[in-house]
């Protein structure tokens, strides 16, 4: 059941702006293709330009959108266990909505009808450009895309802004593309939150490596923990340029999401899994400790996984922090008492067991270090909350009921509210009518799952905080400039203790 109010009616009743933290454009191949080909030719030469010509609206998807599946027989797919990729993934039944996602001018014209004041726009068909394996092609395509969308959306800067695509296979390439994007005037970015790296076969340990899932000889680098590179220079560059990084990296094709026949099986939970991996790596790698002023956005995965992750981190820390871990040290076992207990309470099947005492006395090899939380420097539950809640923002679609969980301060640890952000996902298959997005989200208020204050933060406060957290001029020149400035000023006062404003 959807709200009886239209999107425009809801927006009028709110008294504050609505920010779409994750809108989507659909790339129009005949328009984008010649621009990309020419741009890549200028940047990297003709050979790579031809790859783009084949990959964008062509037949060769291997390099750009990673879909060799359609070329193979079912037998080949099963033999190689290739995951079923997306199909029919953009609107078709509603032609007006489809055109809206293609045309920035039409999107700008219809935002009022959608009840949206300002939208941050993300790619669709080129969403995985940052994951292209060929380094030269990856960088050339991302740079060309950034040039194209900086130009295409410039006339509508008062209502929308596109994200720059920042590849993160190395910190250096990320820094260079971030600097270039900033020079174009782009003020929001999308990073590749997960990098699939090949395992070093020269250091193969044979049977010592367990067979945990089909990763095809690769591992996942989450940029914050156990990374191949030190990404601190990139995070610092984000701070210096006043740009918050967000990730929209899908999680299909690894873990359990590898069905060769069923895209739905692969898609359900895929973004949540990818966001969980990245968020956990950034937190446990101590990034939020070293860069407390930097926030990270995790899009299209909802927030339910994050609520559970926060609880899991606290529970694990309680049982395995630098002090309580000593309770698990096998050396703490009282061998005499253990033998006495077996002698007194062992049933027949436990009698006369050879080597019993030795089995407890033989200690496991000690770990190289005891405190796995050392990079974060945790001393209490409050430290966990302070390193997690202010640093992470979570894109949630209109039908995501876990938003109510994020705002449930009675249930969440230390009465925290996780920072869920309204995200339309307009332009994708799950949105059948763009004018029904805001009403569907507003049902959470109508059904009393969240308060009007929560809804304010969901559709305005938290998206505004995230994108303008470092760049106070992010909304300058937009329709919501004054409202955003007032909201941000109030939250800054709260942070400094000058006024009590619930954030």
> What pLDDT digit, counting tens, does each position of 461-470 carry?
999 999 999 9
Give per-residue pLDDT as tens, 446-458.
999 999 999 999 9
For residue 179, give the nearest of 225, 139, 224 by alpha carbon.
139
What per-residue confidence (pLDDT) applies to 65?
A: 44
- Tracing tokens 């090949």 back to the chain, one arrives at 198
Look at residue 316 and tell me if it is in a domain: no
Q: How confident is the model at residue 2 (pLDDT cuts 50, 70, 90)?
A: low
What per-residue confidence (pLDDT) applies to 211?
A: 43
What per-residue confidence (pLDDT) applies to 61?
A: 37
Look at residue 347 and tell me if it is in a domain: yes
What per-residue confidence (pLDDT) applies to 56?
A: 57
* Distances from the Cα of 235 to the Cα of 21, 195, 395, angstroms: 21, 16, 21
The yes-or-no verdict on residue 256 having pLDDT over 60 is yes
Look at residue 258 and tell me if it is in a domain: no
Look at residue 456 and tell me if it is in a domain: no
Look at residue 81 and tell me if it is in a domain: no
Strands 164-166 and 160-162: unpaired
Q: Which domain covers residue 356, as residue numbers?
A: 323-361
CA–CA separation, 299 and 123 (whole Å): 12
Q: Which residue has the higher pLDDT, 42 or 111?
A: 111
What per-residue confidence (pLDDT) applies to 67?
A: 61
Look at residue 345 and tell me if it is in a domain: yes
What's the total number of domains in the chain?
Answer: 1
Give per-residue pLDDT as tens, 116-133.
999 999 999 899 899 988
- Tracing tokens 């709110």 back to the chain, one arrives at 14
The yes-or-no verdict on residue 31 having pLDDT over 70 is yes
Considering only 54-63, 112-121, 309-318, 404-413, which range has the smallest mean pLDDT?
A: 54-63
Question: Residue 364 in 3-state DSSP?
Answer: coil
Average pLDDT of the residues in 61-68: 48
Q: 487 near 461, Cβ under 8 Å?
A: yes
**Average pLDDT, rounded, for the chain:** 89
What per-residue confidence (pLDDT) applies to 438?
A: 97
Residues 6+ apart with CB under 8 A from 181: 146, 150, 164, 166, 189
Look at residue 176 and tell me if it is in a domain: no
What per-residue confidence (pLDDT) applies to 214?
A: 43
pTM (two decimals):
0.92
Look at residue 344 and tell me if it is in a domain: yes
CA–CA separation, 458 and 394 (whole Å): 10
Question: Residue 100 in 3-state DSSP?
Answer: helix
């Amino acid at each position: 059941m959807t709200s009886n109010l239209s999107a425009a009616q809801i927006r009028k009743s709110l008294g504050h702006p609505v920010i779409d933290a994750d809108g989507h454009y659909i790339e129009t191949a005949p328009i984008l293709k010649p621009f990309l080909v020419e741009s890549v030719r200028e940047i990297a030469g003709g050979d790579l330009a031809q790859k783009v010509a084949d990959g964008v609206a062509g037949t060769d998807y291997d390099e750009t959108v990673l879909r060799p599946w359609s070329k193979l027989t079912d037998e080949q797919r099963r033999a190689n266990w290739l995951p079923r990729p997306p199909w029919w993934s953009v609107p078709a039944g509603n032609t007006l909505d489809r055109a809206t996602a293609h045309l920035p001018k039409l999107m700008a014209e219809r935002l009022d009808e959608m009840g949206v004041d300002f939208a941050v726009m993300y790619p669709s068909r080129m969403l995985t450009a940052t994951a292209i394996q060929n380094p030269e092609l990856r960088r050339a395509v991302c740079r060309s895309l950034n040039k194209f969308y900086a130009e295409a959306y410039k006339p509508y800067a008062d209502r929308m802004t596109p994200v720059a695509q920042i590849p993160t296979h190395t910190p250096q390439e990320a820094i260079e593309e971030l600097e270039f994007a900033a020079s174009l005037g782009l003020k929001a970015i999308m990073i590749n939150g997960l990098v699939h790296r090949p395992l070093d076969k020269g250091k193969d340990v044979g049977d010592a490596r367990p067979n945990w899932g089909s990763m095809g000889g690769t591992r996942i680098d989450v940029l914050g923990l156990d990374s191949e590179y030190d990404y601190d220079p990139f995070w610092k560059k984000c701070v210096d340029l006043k740009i918050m990084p967000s990730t929209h990296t899908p999680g299909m094709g690894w873990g359990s999401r590898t069905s060769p026949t069923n895209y739905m099986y692969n898609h359900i939970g895929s973004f949540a899994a990818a966001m969980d991996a990245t968020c956990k790596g950034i937190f446990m790698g101590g990034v939020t400790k070293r860069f407390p002023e930097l926030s990270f956005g995790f899009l299209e995965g909802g927030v339910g996984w994050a609520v559970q992750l926060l609880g899991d981190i606290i529970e694990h820390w309680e049982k395995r922090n630098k002090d309580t871990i000593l309770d698990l040290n096998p050396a703490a076992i009282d061998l005499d008492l253990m033998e006495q207990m077996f002698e007194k309470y062992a049933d027949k099947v436990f009698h006369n067991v050879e080597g019993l005492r030795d089995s407890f006395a033989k200690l496991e090899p000690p770990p190289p270090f005891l405190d796995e939380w050392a990079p974060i420097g945790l001393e209490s539950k409050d430290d966990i909350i302070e390193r997690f809640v202010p640093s992470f923002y979570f894109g949630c679609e209109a039908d995501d009921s876990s938003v109510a969980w994020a705002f449930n301060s009675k249930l969440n640890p230390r009465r925290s509210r996780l920072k869920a952000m309204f995200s339309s996902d307009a332009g994708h298959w799950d949105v059948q009518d763009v004018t029904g997005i805001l009403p569907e989200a507003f049902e959470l208020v109508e059904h009393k799952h969240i308060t009007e204050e929560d809804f304010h933060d969901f559709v305005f406060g938290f998206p505004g905080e995230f994108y303008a957290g470092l760049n106070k001029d992010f909304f300058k020149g937009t329709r919501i400039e004054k409202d955003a400035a007032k909201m941000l000023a109030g939250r800054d006062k709260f942070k400094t203790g000058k006024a009590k404003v619930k954030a």
